[in-house]
Structure 1
Amino acid sequence: MADGPATEPYGREGLPLDEARALILKQLQPLAATESLALSHALGRTTAAAVIAPAAVPGFRASIMDGYAIAGSDPPPVGCSWRLVGASAAGAPYGPVLRTGEAVRILTGAVVPEGSDRVLPQELVAVDGDRLDLLKPGGPNPWIRQPTEEAAAGQELVPAGQRLGVADLGRLASCGVQQLQVTRRPRIGLLISGDELLPPGLARGPGQIWESNSVLLSALLQRLGYAVADQRVVVDQPEPLRLAFQELAAGCDVVVSTGGVSAGDSDWIRPLVAELGQVSFWKLFLKPGRPFAWGQVAGVPFFGLPGNPVAVAITALQLLWPALQRLEGAEVQRLPRLKVRLEAALRRGAGRPELARARLVVAADGGLWARVEGSQASSRIGSLQGADLLLEIPAELGALEAGTELWAQLLRLPVL
């Protein structure tokens, strides 16, 4: 497909971020492949089907605390007595049915005997030989965990399309699940282009820079739960770039490039993608991240990220990450948002919406503040170090005063 009118269907400024995300997600379908994984290897993976409880859990009435299981169900008055006839411990239940006037010593998690619907906490009673006396009111709580408290047999524990967290795995283990079906993660092919790029550790020549986008993007994807399957660093020449695109598209589910998507003399990425597939749009109405392209190479989804490293990280979070979730068959999750106030004035020019990097500061009164430190240049990776927030600054706002309230995206992953 020739690189014609489709390259700028949204005006000179480019496509707004929310529209770009919606367009990309609309054009993607989940990959069909699934695999079976042991529970111990499933953290962060996405369920291919609902996970069903094979049996009730705990499956029996269990004592919530150490105490004494007594016959009957009504709260007894102070002064009542019972005869101790045995004990019930975890894994060693008391077998006979309790009869009127009988009680057994019971430990936390142990089976409550038949004939008993109440456990008395041990601090409420006195024991003298085989005699049990109630010294204090027991209250209405029977202190018994029901057989289906965690799950009933056949109950859905985790729906299809859910990314498995720590709590999910713990619950599945407690319900006897050891193996489950998950979706296959998309294979990502990464193409880094640039004549000036040099591997870190080598001596730089005139005009050369150490290549960092591959490390930055691979590490970011790894933090989000994805791995780069194939990676190439290629000079800005059409033939080696064309070959790299063809090889990556043949072996991967997604092709991602950095750099070379503008309209300069050595920006070959966009015309090559148009030749090998299609460019659906390029340019984002966003700072940083304007030079961004979306389309397909040989039928494989293509993301042309900017060349500057900060813009690489931000556009990957905003557009590539949601797309990978969609391909994996997961519910698309975005970074959580919260309201914060600027700790100090921020100089900027109006014209484009901006995602500025900031630290989250929690004041003594619990107020949330954003601290912007140093240059916000898209080439300065230092602006990402220690960043907790991406401040959402609307296009129409210029210089911002201290105390200005803004929405911010939280750059912290959940624990459970």
Structure 2
Amino acid sequence: MAQLSDDCFAFGGELMAVDRALSLLAERIGPVTGTERAGLGDALGRILAEEVVAPFDVPPHDNSAVDGYAVFFDDLDPAGDTRLPVTARVPAGRALGRPGRRGEAVRIFTGAPMPEGFDTVLMQEDCRTDGGDVLIPAGIKRGANRRKAGEDIREGQVILTSGRRLRPEDIGLLASIGRTALELRRPLRAAVFSTGDEVREPGAPLEPGCIYDANRYVLISALRQLGCAVTDLGILPDRVEDVRAALASASRDHDVLVTSGGVSTGEEDHVKGAVEAEGALHFWRLAIKPGRPVALGRVGTAALIGLPGNPVAVLVTFQRVARPILLRLMGAAADEPPLFPVRAEFAYKKKAGRREYVRVRLSRGADGGLTAVKHPREGAGILSSMVESDGLVELPEELTRVEPGMTVQFLPFSEVR
């Protein structure tokens, strides 16, 4: 397993643009996980650790795209119907066993191999039969309804590269070349914990002044969705010696430790002191809203990611900052989520020099185009606003005002999962 360098997260204190922070982190972070052999059925969401080359053409032979009749195009009358005898039947999975002959038609079915010589297939719906003959109308194009060998994949083609996070379509592509096992990055081992004497486990009695622990469940779910193997360390008490012991223990068999809150300089923020005693901690002052300084560091050989304490800020900074870091640690290739242009249905003012994320739901405008409707509540502690939104409108640093009708960039939540 690779190790993080002592200074990979170190940086000075000026306010930093999000893109600059991500660029610096990309330069400094590499995979910390090893590889393992796994079956195709266990590969979904995993990171590919090899280059996959096709050993043969897919499909391996010319085949019919429809149920119908295979013919020689040059046998067809371009001005009227053509009558041809139907001399054979070729179902899928069977070969005719001989080359085609001029002046004949062969009944063929979808996926069946094209007999040698035939170059065109007529759909059965376009033809009429008369005894043992088929009547073919004029107008078909040469090569119609014929799928060629290698149309999908050519022998020797690189179909997937190392670092790819595998999706269902990737799994299907691998199956189409007969692969049953792959070299994959081992899942990133992540430990998640909360701190705070006011924090309670859901279902426990809730005393005055206390709250249920939502952030830990947000982080556990987000990490598992990303493909991490997650250990829930629960809620640690506000005692520096207990936090320090838990961090030291977790760092020995985890690749990354993730928490929210508790890393600032307050008297009751004991995570900061515990991390510094066991490793190193650096604050990245990002020009981002919602969000506060993100704490990045190291405990033993494990990375530490400390996110803000407010739940909306937790989700936004996880999606835009922690997720790219985690994917790098997992060995994934660069994965910048796409933004989509939509029309704003709201007015908004912001400070220059700061990137802001506005919670929105999508609506269909009178012209059929997508519009972004701002959630009515903006507070960083209003987790329900994330549930009731489809994604975030990303407002760049230089922008200071949004007016209704303006085109803005929309990040769907589905793109950062």
Task: With the length of structure 2 as denominator, give the TM-score of the two structures.
Answer: 0.88
The residue type paired with residue 34 of structure 2 is: A
Determine the C-alpha separation between the residues in 2 that align with 1:412 and 1:324: 17
1:221 equivalent to 2:223? Answer: yes
Q: Which residue of 1 aligns with 2:130?
A: 128
Q: Which residue of 2 aligns with 1:19?
A: 20
Q: Which residue of 2 aligns with 1:46?
A: 47
Determine the C-alpha separation between the residues in 2 that align with 1:94 and 1:118: 16
Q: What is the deviation of 1:404?
A: 4.9
Query: 1:10-409 alignment to 2 at 5 Å?
Result: 10-11=13-14, 14-70=15-71, 72-74=72-74, 76-77=76-77, 78=80, 80-346=82-348, 352-394=354-396, 401-409=403-411
Determine the C-alpha separation between the residues in 2 that align with 1:31 and 1:411: 27
Determine the C-alpha separation between the residues in 2 that align with 1:81 and 1:284: 75
Kept in 2, the 8 Å contact 1:257–1:303? The answer is: yes
Structure 1 pair 315/73, CA: closer, same or farther in 2 (3 Å)?
Answer: same
Structure 1 pair 101/9, CA: closer, same or farther in 2 (3 Å)?
Answer: closer
Structure 1 pair 75/221, CA: closer, same or farther in 2 (3 Å)?
Answer: farther
Q: What is the deviation of 1:386?
A: 2.1
Structure 1 pair 106/191, CA: closer, same or farther in 2 (3 Å)?
Answer: same
Kept in 2, the 8 Å contact 1:230–1:248? The answer is: no
The secondary structure found in structure 2 opposite 1:377 is: coil
**Most deviating of 19-28 and 334-343:** 334-343
Q: 1:80-108: CA deviations, max 9, x gaps?
A: 44333221111232222233323322122
Structure 1 pair 83/369, CA: closer, same or farther in 2 (3 Å)?
Answer: closer
Kept in 1, the 8 Å contact 2:75–2:102? The answer is: no
Kept in 2, the 8 Å contact 1:190–1:256? The answer is: yes
Determine the C-alpha separation between the residues in 2 that align with 1:169 and 1:8: 40
Determine the C-alpha separation between the residues in 2 that align with 1:405 and 1:123: 47
Kept in 1, the 8 Å contact 2:119–2:143? The answer is: no
**Most deviating of 259-268 and 226-235:** 226-235
Structure 1 pair 189/63, CA: closer, same or farther in 2 (3 Å)?
Answer: same
**Most deviating of 113-122 and 184-193:** 113-122
Q: 1:21-75: CA deviations, max 9, x gaps?
A: 22222221113511222222222222111222233222122122222223x4526
Q: What is the deviation of 1:303?
A: 0.8
Determine the C-alpha separation between the residues in 2 that align with 1:357 and 1:79: 62
The residue type paired with residue 280 of structure 2 is: Q
Q: What is the deviation of 1:182?
A: 1.5
**Most deviating of 74-83 and 140-149:** 74-83
Structure 1 pair 133/216, CA: closer, same or farther in 2 (3 Å)?
Answer: closer
Structure 1 pair 252/67, CA: closer, same or farther in 2 (3 Å)?
Answer: same
How many corresponding residue pairs?
407
% of aligned pairs identical?
Answer: 36
Structure 1 pair 117/18, CA: closer, same or farther in 2 (3 Å)?
Answer: closer
The secondary structure found in structure 2 opposite 1:74 is: helix
1:9 equivalent to 2:12? Answer: yes
The secondary structure found in structure 1 opposite 2:74 is: coil
Q: What is the deviation of 1:226?
A: 3.0
The residue type paired with residue 10 of structure 1 is: G
The residue type paired with residue 62 of structure 2 is: R
Q: What is the deviation of 1:316?
A: 1.0
**Most deviating of 396-405 and 166-175:** 396-405
Task: With the length of structure 1 as denominator, give the TM-score of the two structures.
Answer: 0.88
Kept in 1, the 8 Å contact 2:240–2:273? The answer is: no
Q: What is the deviation of 1:367?
A: 3.4
Q: What is the deviation of 1:400?
A: 5.2
RMSD in angstroms over aligned alpha carbons?
Answer: 2.7
Question: Where does the alignment leave 5 or more consecutive residues of structure 2 unmatched?
Answer: 1-8
The residue type paired with residue 218 of structure 2 is: L
**Most deviating of 124-133 and 231-240:** 124-133
**Most deviating of 178-187 and 76-85:** 76-85
Determine the C-alpha separation between the residues in 2 that align with 1:136 and 1:30: 61
Structure 1 pair 27/144, CA: closer, same or farther in 2 (3 Å)?
Answer: same
Q: 1:128-175: CA deviations, max 9, x gaps?
A: 333344443433234321121222333222222111112222222223
Q: What is the deviation of 1:395?
A: 5.8
The secondary structure found in structure 2 opposite 1:191 is: strand
Q: What is the deviation of 1:214?
A: 0.9
Kept in 2, the 8 Å contact 1:124–1:138? The answer is: no
Determine the C-alpha separation between the residues in 1 that align with 2:106 and 2:406: 65
Q: What is the deviation of 1:239?
A: 0.1
